[in-house]
Amino acid sequence: MKTRITKILVGTALVAASAATALAVPTVSRLTPPSLLFSTGEAGAPYIARFLPGQRFDLQATIRPDVGQTITNASFLIDNKPVTGSVTLIPCDLNVPANTVAPTVRAVSLHRPGVHTLTINALQSDGQTVSARGEFEIVSIERNGRRAKNIIFMIGDGMGIAHRSAARIMYKGVYMGKSLEPLEMDDMDATALVKTASLNSIITDSAPGAACYSSGNKGNNNQQGVFPDDTTANFDNPRIELVGEYLARTDGKSLGIVTTADVFDATPAAFGSHTQNRGAGTGICDGYLDEQVAKANLTVLLGGGRKWFLPNTTAGSARSAANDSVLSTELASAWGVATGVSDPARDLLADFQTAGFTYTSNKTALAAVPATTTKLIGLFALSNMNVAKDKIDGRRGVIPTGSTQSVVADYGFPDQPLLDEMTTAALRVLSKNRNGFVLMVEAASIDKQAHNMDSERWLLETIEFDKAIGVAKKFAEKNNDTLVIVTADHECAGVNIIGASTVTNAVLQAKAAQGGGAAALRDSVVGVYDAASFPSYSIAADGYPVTTDIDYKMLIGYAGNTDRYEDWLTNPRPLRDSQQPFNGLAPLNTYPNGPLFRDTAGGFLITGQVPLAAQSAVHTGSDIPLTASGRGASLFRGVVDNTDVFFLAMQAAIGGVNSDDERPRHPMFHQQH
Amino acid sequence: MTKSSSLPLILNAGLLAGFLYISTVAHAKNLGWNADTLSQELAAIKHLQPAPKGVTHLAFNEFFASPISSRGLEYTTTIKHLEGQRVRILGFMVKQTRPSPGTIMLAPYATTTHEGEYGLCDDLPPATLFVHVPKYADLAVPFTPGPLLLTGKLELGPHQEPDGRVSHVRLVLDPEADTTISDPVKTATTTN
């Protein structure tokens, strides 16, 4: 295998080096869908691009003409047969020579399973021609057994194995070597490990990390629902039909998107947008209405991010022409969507309401949504929602020392729902579609708080997520044609459980205040192996820990860390979020501005392994766990690629599963945790 | 094409000295350099006099109300009462890669925008004050770091700025600034 990897890398270099010399000019520098055959010259598995039978995707090549020449004609062939549909020559403007163009054919689909060859032929103005080949696979879907009508993706953003283990220790307890109870995400029928690399890196970000589940294909970092191209335009990349769009078109299912982040954030948007720029919030959110409602039966959209839905004449709006989308006529026509206009003054929220959506802006209103509601949009903050710890503290009336009100009140949104409450509301609406639905529920701040190395905040976020999983499982028990998949998009921060404190909370508080540095806060506090014993947390009636600052508390380390001060104590306030409307104003200006401006009194500086410029801990490349229950869960086993998850879910939804594969786990697993 | 100006803004060396003094106190490390906090602390050590008669000192956290409504941000009662009146405010000039002529943005903390790379996509806080300088409408104001104390007439309501941004709180700068700050801080003006 090592030899093969080396060969591939050398092959890539040779293609690049020879592009302008040994090969004919003009040259083909990119062929989409991507393939090893085009990039390395080697045919065969693994096939980089794979699609469902009938799933639509775009064909594109980037062709660089000789100096002073132009490309006058181009055509695509699949399996040596001409592709029907007009070829558009899209001008390229991203680090390419003059007159470079991207011949494109939109919304192609094939039904015959197997490997197919793709050929591009192009003619230059002086009569020279160029040709290149690639390949892709149409995945076979076996039609046998009963189908999963509803698919629920539960995504704990950044949630690796250690996030789950730590949440189990805190939430359910471990004693004498055994977990006293399983997490909801533990107590599921099937388990797999998922590999997470993106198309251009071993370390993915959330955009392609989630889009692999919605499209079945790898993407470059920062890109979702598309393959990379050589233009600067954010919304013109070669598209891949998403799970919501495909199942709405073929089966009449609905789509729901629920997140604790701003709804334009990468994971939710990976299930409802096609863009090379995960930051293009205005265009992404416009697309939820203009494309996803129309093409994916989007009927539930819950999260933060109200700032994209308000006209820029309303204070707090973030709508801007600079990140809006205006599609080309050829793209819009082929995919059957509107081109859209640049409209920062659009009242998108009013447009959603005109389209029949019920709008809710806080927990109280969400709880009062009529049972007859068929379309629901809930935007509970201008940007990201607050995290579980701060929402719970707000409900408990906890006021940080030195403050006059709770953290959620400081943010201006004191009545935000928890993720399980949002999931309940989403399922109530989505279950009205007799054809079924696809629902994506994201616990976004497991990732965001792991980036901040704020252990207690991502721990409570994971507990909140587990409660939402419980809601999904309960729905699946009542509706046994439902598949529930629990996973992440990547691991964040290199989290692990390094042991437990050897001192009481009172002693730890004193050490943190006294400033003894590593000698005080590491050498005389961190208990490893036997000294860690079994930290024991009490759970309050609201289902969350009474306090996370117990005596002999669990301690967390970070392998993907930047420099930080650490005192192991729960931070009364989260780090600042630059996207919050009152960031920089009192009282949010009193919140720490990074991990070097927190826990400083103890003087225990932990030097990071990540450049300081990263400003926070980073994603890592380790595999992530997946557990699944319900119809088709047994398909998920072994070590799989993240794109496999899409195809396995679609096997359950389209092809069905044999009843032999639906056997429950051995009862022994329900007794031993 | 905008012309560069040597427009002397109301940056004051004495005020900057006071600012630096404040920044050295221990808790400034955690607080960050926040204009509203700085105003209070400068006033406490007599480096910032009360606003003169006919002028009201305004803070950034008096722009918008909290909790936030079911849609966007709403003005506070305080700022609504000040509409059309002369106010004074301390803030930081936003460093722009593409400044607009005759206009600067004043933020509650030091920040930079990169219009060349990101257009109007930025993390500017909603409580950003757009300062119009009528006397120099065709000049780009050079970036001036540090705290600025500005006085002018307050305007409210959505308004499309020349660069495409929509402002909600504006200050039409006095042609002759009359900001007064006690010694050792010297008053600066907008006169040329």
How many angstroms separate the CA atoms of A357 and A249, rounded? 21
The position carrying tokens 């071993």 is A202
Q: Are A553 and A569 in contact (CB under 8 A)?
A: no
pLDDT in tens, B92-108: 999 998 888 999 999 99
Q: Which residues of B touch A304 (CB under 8 A)?
A: none
**Which positions ≥6 away from B119 have C-beta within 8 Å?**
A320, A321, A322, A323
pLDDT grade for B141, boundaries at 50, 70 and 90: confident
Counting as low any pLDDT under 70, the low residues of chain A are 1-24, 659-673
Contact at CB, A582 and B107, closer than 8 angstroms: no
How many angstroms separate the CA atoms of A330 and A336, rounded? 10
Q: What is the pTM of this model?
A: 0.91
pLDDT of amino acid A2? 36
CA angle A563–A568–A571, rounded 5-degree value? 85
Q: Which residues of B touch A583 (CB under 8 A)?
A: 123, 125
Supply φ then ψ for residue A291, to 5 degrees.
Answer: -115, -50
pLDDT of amino acid B175? 75
How many angstroms separate the CA atoms of A117 and A135, rounded? 4
> Is residue B164 pLDDT above 90, yes or no?
no
A-to-B residue pairs, Cβ atoms closer than 8 angstroms: 113
Q: Closest-CA residue in chain A for B122?
A: A318
Q: Closest-CA residue in chain B for A309?
A: B71
Tally of CA atoms within 13 A in the half-sphere of A458 that contains its CB: 31
Q: Closest-CA residue in chain A for B31?
A: A590
A375 or B186, higher pLDDT: A375
- Residue of A390, A386, A385, A416 lying closest to A403 (CA atoms): A390
Q: Closest-CA residue in chain A for B119?
A: A322
According to DSSP, the β-strands at A254-262 and A298-304 are parallel
A573 touches chain B (CB under 8 A): no
A310 touches chain B (CB under 8 A): yes
Q: Which residues of A touch B60 (CB under 8 A)?
A: 584-585
Mean pLDDT of B43-55: 92
Q: Which of A314, A320, A359 sits opposite B121 (nearest CB)?
A: A320
Q: Which residues of B touch A601 (CB under 8 A)?
A: none
> Is residue B187 pLDDT above 60, yes or no?
no
Contact at CB, B66 and A582, closer than 8 angstroms: yes
Portion of chain B with pLDDT greater than 90, in percent: 44
Chain A nearest C-alpha distance from B140 (Å)? 22
* β partners of residue A459: none
Q: Are B45 and B183 in contact (CB under 8 A)?
A: no
Within chain B, what is the greatest distance between any pair of CA atoms? 47
What's the helix, strand, coil split of chain A in %, to 5? 30, 25, 45
How many angstroms separate the CA atoms of A121 and A104, rounded? 12
A416 touches chain B (CB under 8 A): no
Does the structure's ipTM exceed the value 0.90? no
* β partners of residue A77: A82, A119
Long-range residue pairs from B80-84, CB within 8 A, at least 24 positions apart, any chain: B80/B156, B82/B56, B82/B58, B82/B154, B83/B154, B83/B155, B83/B156, B84/B153, B84/B154, B84/B155
How many angstroms separate the CA atoms of B84 and A157, rounded? 48
How many angstroms separate the CA atoms of A53 and A654, rounded? 10
Chain A nearest C-alpha distance from B191 (Å)? 31
pLDDT of amino acid B111? 84
Contact at CB, B31 and A316, closer than 8 angstroms: no
User: b/e per residue, A613-648, with b = 16+ CB within 10 A?
Assistant: eebbbbbbbbbbbbbbbbbbbbbbeeebbbbbbbbb
Chain B nearest C-alpha distance from A543 (Å)? 27
How many angstroms separate the CA atoms of A592 and A662, rounded? 50
Choose the mutation target among B166, B168, B169 for the interface with A, i.e. most A CBs under 10 Å.
Answer: B166
pLDDT of amino acid A6? 41
A593 touches chain B (CB under 8 A): yes
pLDDT grade for B47, boundaries at 50, 70 and 90: confident
> Is residue B23 pLDDT above 70, yes or no?
no
The position carrying tokens 């020559």 is A89
User: b/e per residue, A408-421, with b = 16+ CB within 10 A?
Assistant: bbbbbbbbbbbbbb
Choose the mutation target among B71, B75, B90, B166 for the interface with A, i.e. most A CBs under 10 Å.
Answer: B71
- Is the four-CA dihedral B11, A586, A582, A617 of positive or negative sign? positive
Choose the mutation target among B29, B66, B124 for the interface with A, i.e. most A CBs under 10 Å.
Answer: B66
3-state secondary structure (DSSP) of residue A419: helix
pLDDT in tens, A512-555: 999 999 999 999 999 999 999 999 999 999 999 999 999 999 99
Q: For chain A, how far is it from start to end, CA to CA, in angstroms?
A: 37
DSSP state letters, A120-189: EEEEETTS-EEEEEEEEEEPP----SBPPSEEEEEEETT--HHHHHHHHHHHT-EETTEESS--TTTSSS
**Which positions ≥6 away from B62 have C-beta within 8 Å?**
B76, B78, B79
A412 touches chain B (CB under 8 A): yes
pLDDT of amino acid B121? 65
pLDDT of amino acid A671? 52
Choose the mutation target among B40, B41, B73 for the interface with A, i.e. most A CBs under 10 Å.
Answer: B73
Q: Are B35 and B92 in contact (CB under 8 A)?
A: yes
How many angstroms separate the CA atoms of A127 and A125, rounded? 5
How many angstroms separate the CA atoms of A583 and A596, rounded? 18
